[in-house]
Structure 1
Amino acid sequence: MIFRSLLLAASLLSMPHIASAQTFLDEGFQDGEADGWQSDARKGKIGLTDYQGNVSLNLTRDAYAIRLLKDVSADRVRISAAFAADSLEGDDACVLEASPDGAAWFEIGRVEDGQDDSVTLHTVSGLLDLDSPNLFLGVRITGNAANDSCWVDNISVVGARNTDSLSEALSQDVLWHGQTLSEPVSMQAFAPPDKITTPTISYSGTLRFEGTQAAGFELLRDSFNYSQTADTLDKLPAFNVNLVQDGTDLIPTLRGPQANDHPDWEWIIEPGQIWHREDSHARASLPFALQERNANCVHNGMMAFEIGPNGDTSALIFQIGSETCAYMQFNLWGSAPSSFETKAIPHANTVIRNYQSEVAHRLPTQPLSELSFRNQLGHSDEVAPDAITALGYVKDGTHYVSACPTRLGDYPYCNVLDLPSYSWAKSMVAGLASMRLEQLYPGAMRSQIADYVPACDDWDGVTFQHALDMATGRYDSDVYDEDEASEDTRQFFLTDRHDRKIDIACNYDRQSPPGETFVYHTTDTYILGTAITAFLREQTGRSDADIFDDLIDPVWTSLGLSPVARQTRRTYDNEAQVFAGWGLTLHRSDIAMIAKFLHEDGMIDGEPMLDPAMLADALQQRTAPVGLRAVVDSQRYKNGFWAWNAGANIGCEDDLFVPAMSGYGGLTLALMPNGQTYYYVSDGYAFAWARAAAASHNDAPFCEANP
């Protein structure tokens, strides 16, 4: 499920003058040394190990290691590490902890029994306030047998801001008097007041922003050193956006990622609010995101500006303090001139009606804290809390939601927070499009790839179904993630042209009969998307027929999903080929409604939109598990969906495979057999959800428990 190749999916650039956050420790052991660490093996062993070129510190039984960091010049630090584990039982654990004095220790995180497949790295992290310049850092294993093992890697200590000290007001000197926003403010500074007043005049019109370099840029993570190579990462692209006012709502007429000539970023501007201030000014607040060109990382932010009583426009204040992006993370803030021209906007009434419909279609929400088992959802044993962008649970038609934390305070517009799909799209686009295709054209999934994709003309015997199941028999290695992490696959993601992508995707020799071996290949899903588009054009006689526009968007429209969900990443050439295996942008309401649609057997107004047999297979509604073994014995993959055997974990007498979607970096969506849905969007490489499955089962049982 780890979509590692997307780490290299975009050629992000940056510049020499970007300020990195204060990094006090960045330990990967790749130099083959453990300098600075004091260790005691006690009854176990401790030492560096090398696995496929990656070096980590291995501890067994009850070993521990401690490191003292001096001159830590930060009041608050974020501490993190990644653990793999093996043979943990009972109370055994891999533990990351810290202390200001070496006497009183604070646990940062742990990995326990159930997370010990000896391969998967689980990231744990947390914040710690300091009142001295010294910090003791410790890693240890609490085991009792020689085979109890922990491997620790990627240990970091980075300075973090204390959100309590951030201003909750936007400076009038910055807005109106030419001062630069020199420090970030709390995200709550962009929130509307509790008692919001509708402006006395209409402010529909056009907001223009010429683009600028950010005043502040703190680089928090740059896994591939993009910041050393160029000069555009902290430069915002220009935009002209038409906005329609409806009461206090301020609605952009264009939604979703907007292409431009910036080499790195595309704007997404979401509906916000505008209100009357006591000084006769109107203030507008708009959520936005920067999404990588040709990729799926999303960096979420806020912007605000004011309009004076004479129609003059203040500076635009903007900042970013969160993202769903495992390899590139930063805080960004600044201010720059803007202009707002009040004018009539064409089709304004349609824009308003569409937005009102969008809001009305959302499931009713309640705080996640209303659930009795809230403490088992997003548990720190399974996903690092500071890696979570969104967390939710759907039960009995109600969408239970968390706040949307950022490094600069809670995001004020959670309902329109933009979230990437990554490989959720393999289920939501490739999977559902295939089921829709089979419903409309029975037998279509038995069609041959070679008949519809010229670049794969030698793929004899490989069907649409084989490609959907990632069982084409075409691969270089059947070792999990080896092909996906290859240089060829990296180039597949980097290119923005269809001809190059499809040539790379088809360039695998036959290693086994089609349908026998699961090998994780995003390239297979891209081939399938290409083939389905060609099939539709043949069947309809329309040269513009398209897998997304013809098979997915009509369903999304009927469900009332947001306009951002009704777009997808495509190649940038005339082909505009849908990526199919990644590239959706979603709101949390979209996630909830898609899950509800699946739980309701893919029906809309009593009409089946998807092939019932394919959907039943994807949702593991057969007596026996459906799909090929996927990486480990406890997982299956079928029709673009994963399934995990939760039976033993929740106390079932028999195996019970629960269907799920998984996305790169830390996206999990589990479709519980009791009709409930659990999801989190994160970027700390965590994919665990056993605690949530057990909690859901205890709330509404999946099976008869063992006596």
Structure 2
Amino acid sequence: MHGQSMHGQSMHGHLSVSDFEKASPTFELFDNGAFQPPHDARPAFCTFEGVLTVDETMMSTDPETLTVPSAFGKDLRLFPAFEIGFLSTDGELIPANQDLTARPGASYWEVIVQPGKVWSENGDGDWSRGSFPFALVSRIDGNTHNGVATFVYRENAISSLRYQIVQQTAPLSLPDKFLASGALKARYRAAPLGNRDELITEFRKFEKMRLRTRPWSDLAELTGSAKIHDFDSDILPEKLVADALLVGETLYVKSAATPAGELPYAGRQRFGVWSITKTAALGVAILRIAQQFDREIFTKRVSDFVAEARAFPGWVDVTFGDAYTMAAGLGYGSDDPQNGAMEPYDGVYLDWYSAQSWSAKMNHMFRNTNLYSWGPGKVVRYRDEEMFFLALGLDAYVKQQLGPDEDIWSYLTREVYNPLEIQVLPTSRTVEQDLKTGVPYMGYGMYPTLEDLAKIAKLYLNEGEWNGNQLLPRDIVRELLAGKEPRGYRTYWSKFPYYYRTFWYAAHQWRGELTYVPCMSGYGGSVVALLPNGVVALRIANSIDATDDVVKMQSFLDVEL
């Protein structure tokens, strides 16, 4: 079976055992189904347990030549080397590490590996097969290149890993979007993993707590196709990565298309969602701290916890609440308060963005930011720097409360994500030369699944309550939800005319009345909307420009089920 890819490439239908050792030196696509168990798959002949190691390998890309082949001294064309333990149980392939990982080398990328499958097929002899989804990520950028890898194996032998990268979210530092394919020379050291029982127990526990995921056709049958036919129809298909609706406790996925068919393991794929991180991570973190420790956290000065800020006028008086709602009174743009919420994303910002250590980022933002005439707490100016400043302050706060070994991301994971039945949620951090764990950016850089985003949105819609536990302050969360009155600060932007506490507010006619709908929004056109009827609308997109099809929100918000 052969088809034609959207990129003009011949697309193959099946990987034979012999194909694993003869990858083409040029880009080639297989149908994504070749990387997953077929309908007639049989159990694997043997378990897979041990350490999988791959070396850096040049990728075959489409386009063949990248406009910029390297960034920050690293090669964009190299698939990263990695070493990860895996074990199989009941047909599932569980990685021991689901965080960003890579062995030192020349590649720009790191990899996030997610659980996959093991099975066997007729015609493979005594070989079993395994596959897993992955995302290439960078600690500097916040996008993902999503793909899948597969291999055949015996008791103590493994083939090369065949892989293909078939989708991505929007790049910022890199001018090119690209697909990739190839074979990775693999080494397999079969041996029991020391934490195998814990890995299996944790995997099974969180798998049981996953949301029900159903195809779009099920929702059409349940509600009538006319009600959902036009959902998210404004955005051009080539800019869409995935979209879905959470209705009740069920996630209905409308689309997760790629040039090689539906995105493999779509429910387990992680996406770079850029500034959605502000609401889904940083906003949740400060609200959890308010609930658990201190309702007055919003009025405290961040500089009381980040001593380095005390020497810089403007920064010294910024409160946690000012930074939380992007109203610090600092920036690089116009001193006209009606000039709009968006700050310039040019040289000064990019220098800060490119700084890799927490101290370099901190020193740059303290020394290169202007003080606006209106001061803090008056006007919104959308800046990642404020979010990073807030992250530094919250990290110092939880260390003060819980000890020097605490970390804001581990705190957030333990206190909120795990109770939400999210096992792991990776994030990018600053890069520190002394091998210390970096500080999470928290203005961008988290890598959730669609289900992770749906659960976090549902927590907000539940007014901070989950399974009978009040994780976030009910009264504060309630005022963030959809309503007839605008809240926060004017943005002078038609798409989202108001901004408040990490949420953008869309002005939408809901059942004949103007309603302000809270949205988490990320670069590229990714949006998570908390609709007035309790439905969550989700879109992952990769648009580089804010074109009309991305700016229009009507079809995305008009879900009156």
Match of 2:260 among 368, 389, 408: 408
Say whether residues 1:580 and 2:432 are aligned partners: no
Pair 179,528 (structure 1): closer, same or farther in 2 beyond 3 Å: closer
> Higher Cα Rg: structure 1 or 2?
1
2:531 aligned partner: 672
2:552 aligned partner: 688
The CA distance in 1 between the partners of 2:141 and 2:404, in whole Å, is 26
Pair 463,646 (structure 1): closer, same or farther in 2 beyond 3 Å: same
1:474 aligned partner: 330
Match of 2:33 among 175, 183, 188: 188
CA contact (8 A) 2:356 2:430 kept: yes
The CA distance in 2 between the partners of 1:213 and 1:220, in whole Å, is 12
1:652 aligned partner: 512
- Deviations 1:564-617 (Å, cap 9, x if unpaired)? x1x321111236112011111111111111122211111123221112232123
Q: What are the ranges of 5 or more consecutive residues in structure 2 without an aligned counterpart? A: none
- Deviations 1:138-187 (Å, cap 9, x if unpaired)? xxxxxxxxxxxxxxxxxxxxxx226xx51111143332578767632222
For CA contacts below 8 A with separation 6 or more, give which structure has more relative contact order. Answer: 2
2:180 aligned partner: 332
The CA distance in 2 between the partners of 1:235 and 1:228, in whole Å, is 10
Say whether residues 1:509 and 2:370 are aligned partners: yes
2:420 aligned partner: 559
Match of 2:490 among 629, 652, 669: 629
- Deviating more after overlay: 190-199 vs 402-411: 402-411
- Deviations 1:440-493 (Å, cap 9, x if unpaired)? 212011001232223322334321101111111122324447634131210111
The CA distance in 1 between the partners of 2:440 and 2:296, in whole Å, is 23
The CA distance in 1 between the partners of 2:169 and 2:303, in whole Å, is 37
Letter in 1 for 2:528: L
Q: Where do 1:303-452 residues align within 5 Å? A: 303-308=149-154, 311-326=156-171, 327-369=175-217, 370-371=219-220, 372=225, 373-379=227-233, 382-440=234-292, 441-452=294-305
Deviation of the 1:524 alpha carbon: 0.7
CA contact (8 A) 1:221 1:328 kept: no
What is the TM-score normalised by the length of structure 2?
0.88
Deviation of the 1:259 alpha carbon: 4.0
Deviation of the 1:645 alpha carbon: 1.3
Secondary structure of the 1:399 match is strand
CA contact (8 A) 2:206 2:421 kept: yes
Pair 228,433 (structure 1): closer, same or farther in 2 beyond 3 Å: closer
The CA distance in 2 between the partners of 1:329 and 1:520, in whole Å, is 26
CA contact (8 A) 1:276 1:283 kept: yes
> Matched residues, percent identical?
23
Pair 481,517 (structure 1): closer, same or farther in 2 beyond 3 Å: closer
2:354 aligned partner: 494
Deviation of the 1:527 alpha carbon: 0.6
CA contact (8 A) 2:23 2:183 kept: no
2:75 aligned partner: 232
The CA distance in 1 between the partners of 2:27 and 2:507, in whole Å, is 52
- Deviations 1:627-670 (Å, cap 9, x if unpaired)? 011233762111111111113xx4534x3111110001111111
CA contact (8 A) 2:245 2:251 kept: yes
Letter in 2 for 1:454: A
What is the TM-score normalised by the length of structure 1?
0.70
1:197 aligned partner: 42
CA contact (8 A) 1:662 1:687 kept: no
The CA distance in 2 between the partners of 1:307 and 1:188, in whole Å, is 19
Say whether residues 1:161 and 2:161 are aligned partners: no
The CA distance in 1 between the partners of 2:430 and 2:70, in whole Å, is 27
CA contact (8 A) 1:174 1:181 kept: no
1:28 aligned partner: none
Secondary structure of the 1:401 match is strand
CA contact (8 A) 1:181 1:317 kept: no
Deviation of the 1:620 alpha carbon: 4.2
The CA distance in 2 between the partners of 1:182 and 1:435, in whole Å, is 47
Secondary structure of the 2:164 match is strand
1:264 aligned partner: 108
Letter in 2 for 1:665: G
Secondary structure of the 1:166 match is strand
Match of 2:118 among 274, 278, 284: 274
CA contact (8 A) 1:199 1:276 kept: yes
The CA distance in 1 between the partners of 2:536 and 2:213, in whole Å, is 14
Match of 1:210 among 38, 55, 71: 55
Pair 171,234 (structure 1): closer, same or farther in 2 beyond 3 Å: farther
Match of 2:93 among 242, 250, 258: 250
- Deviations 1:6-26 (Å, cap 9, x if unpaired)? xxxxxxxxxxxxxxxxxxxxx
Q: Where do 1:110-149 residues align within 5 Å? A: none
Say whether residues 1:456 and 2:309 are aligned partners: yes
Secondary structure of the 1:287 match is strand
The CA distance in 2 between the partners of 1:625 and 1:544, in whole Å, is 41
The CA distance in 1 between the partners of 2:23 and 2:140, in whole Å, is 35
The CA distance in 2 between the partners of 1:338 and 1:221, in whole Å, is 26
Pair 485,182 (structure 1): closer, same or farther in 2 beyond 3 Å: closer
CA contact (8 A) 2:143 2:273 kept: no
Deviation of the 1:232 alpha carbon: 2.1
CA contact (8 A) 2:246 2:535 kept: yes
The CA distance in 2 between the partners of 1:376 and 1:178, in whole Å, is 41
CA contact (8 A) 1:614 1:639 kept: no
The CA distance in 1 between the partners of 2:69 and 2:363, in whole Å, is 31
Aligned residues: 527
Pair 365,482 (structure 1): closer, same or farther in 2 beyond 3 Å: closer
Secondary structure of the 1:491 match is helix
Pair 641,182 (structure 1): closer, same or farther in 2 beyond 3 Å: closer
RMSD, aligned CA: 2.5
Secondary structure of the 2:258 match is coil
CA contact (8 A) 1:269 1:286 kept: yes
- Deviations 1:177-214 (Å, cap 9, x if unpaired)? 78767632222211211122212332212222122112
CA contact (8 A) 1:489 1:504 kept: no
Secondary structure of the 1:681 match is strand
2:134 aligned partner: 288
Pair 525,336 (structure 1): closer, same or farther in 2 beyond 3 Å: closer
The CA distance in 2 between the partners of 1:347 and 1:490, in whole Å, is 42
Secondary structure of the 2:75 match is coil
Secondary structure of the 2:398 match is helix
Q: What are the ranges of 5 or more consecutive residues in structure 1 without an aligned counterpart? A: 1-74, 78-126, 128-159, 700-707
1:543 aligned partner: 404
Secondary structure of the 1:302 match is strand
CA contact (8 A) 1:480 1:520 kept: no
CA contact (8 A) 1:206 1:242 kept: yes
Deviation of the 1:325 alpha carbon: 2.3
1:589 aligned partner: 451
1:526 aligned partner: 388
Secondary structure of the 2:479 match is helix
The CA distance in 2 between the partners of 1:681 and 1:602, in whole Å, is 24
Pair 182,299 (structure 1): closer, same or farther in 2 beyond 3 Å: closer
Letter in 1 for 2:246: V
